[in-house]
Amino acid sequence: MCISNTVGDGGKNIPADVRSLQFLLNLNSGQHGLTCKLAIDGAWGSGSRAALKVFQQGAGVTTPGALVAPGDPTIAALRKGLPAGLTVEKLRIIMATASASRVAEFYQPIVDVLARYDINTPLRIAHFLAQIAHESGCLVYTEELASGADYENRANLGNTQAGDGTRFKGRGLIQLTGRANYHQYGLACHRDFEKGDAPSLVSTDRGLAVDVAGWFWFTRGLNTLADADNVKTITQKINGGFNGLAERIAYLERAKWLLMS
């Protein structure tokens, strides 16, 4: 579902939900007599109220007090008017707390990676976006916050040289960790991510930060798990456990609602 609670006159008006409704109204502009370009500010006010009432009237939906709730007829009508595919606006709704500039930076790299790694059905895309939303804090983090010192001398990660733990800390929207994994990713990209400042590029280069997530997804067979709608096993493959499962599921349901209409 694209909103978690009520929006409108007398509603809870959680900013993320208000922003989602504003996006949906903008995406439906030109239908049911609605012509609008609302500011996506997360604040319920006169502009959003007027646009909602015009849409409800044109779509034949009557909700007293300009109030919408998850799953109600207004939300269903808004969903019918959505454009196909992953648009910038849909990505902003999925990445609920991301800034407009952050989504703009990542949108094209994400689209490119979806094509490159066969993440090419609405269900696969929904699962991928849900996982990177959680892993990156909605595109905020491309590098592990910890120093990486805990990975020092971890032979299972290929960290055999002094300083490898910090040097090859987790980077990317799904984090690449350890010298061995940087080496394997480098082979796939025909690049050397073990020399000089190259490891940091996996974080600072937006294209690489997304690509490494796609590479991990593809090489671990997560498309097949996404086809089976198996969010628990996907989470386990990425996280090693089930940390943040409820949040991952919430992102997934939002992405499905937007992409599988």
Report the percentage of the chain scoring pLDDT > 90: 84
Could you tell me if 193 and 98 are in contact, meaning their C-beta atoms sit under 8 angstroms apart?
no
Domains: count for the chain: 2
Q: Domain span at residue 50?
A: 7-80
Q: Are residues 109 and 236 in the same domain?
A: yes
In this structure, are 13 and 121 located in the same domain?
no
Asked whether residue 71 falls in the same domain as residue 113, the answer is no
From 17, 50, 80, give the residue that closes a domain.
80
Same domain, 220 and 113: yes
Q: Is residue 186 part of a domain?
A: yes
Output the CA torsion 7→8→11→14 (10° steps).
40
Instruction: Say how far apart CA 81 and CA 220 lie, in whole Å.
Output: 36
Q: Encode pLDDT of 172-212 as tens digits.
A: 999 999 999 999 999 999 999 999 999 999 999 999 999 99
Read off the tokens for 43: 């604040």
Residues 69 and 160 reside in one and the same domain: no
CATH number at residue 175: 1.10.530.10
Q: What is the pLDDT of residue 215?
A: 98
pLDDT(33) > 90: no
d(CA 79, CA 93) in angstroms, rounded, equals 13
> What's the pTM?
0.92
Residue 1 lies in a domain: no
174 in the same domain as 248: yes
Q: What is the enclosing helix (H) or strand (E) of 174?
A: none
Asked if residue 112 and residue 241 are part of one domain, the reply reads yes
Q: How confident is the model at residue 150 (pLDDT cuts 50, 70, 90)?
A: confident
Q: What is the pLDDT of residues 82-141, one digit of tens each?
A: 999 999 999 999 999 999 999 999 999 999 999 999 999 999 999 999 999 999 999 999
Q: How confident is the model at residue 261 (pLDDT cuts 50, 70, 90)?
A: confident
Rounded CA separation 258/236 (Å): 25
Percent of the chain with pLDDT over 70: 99
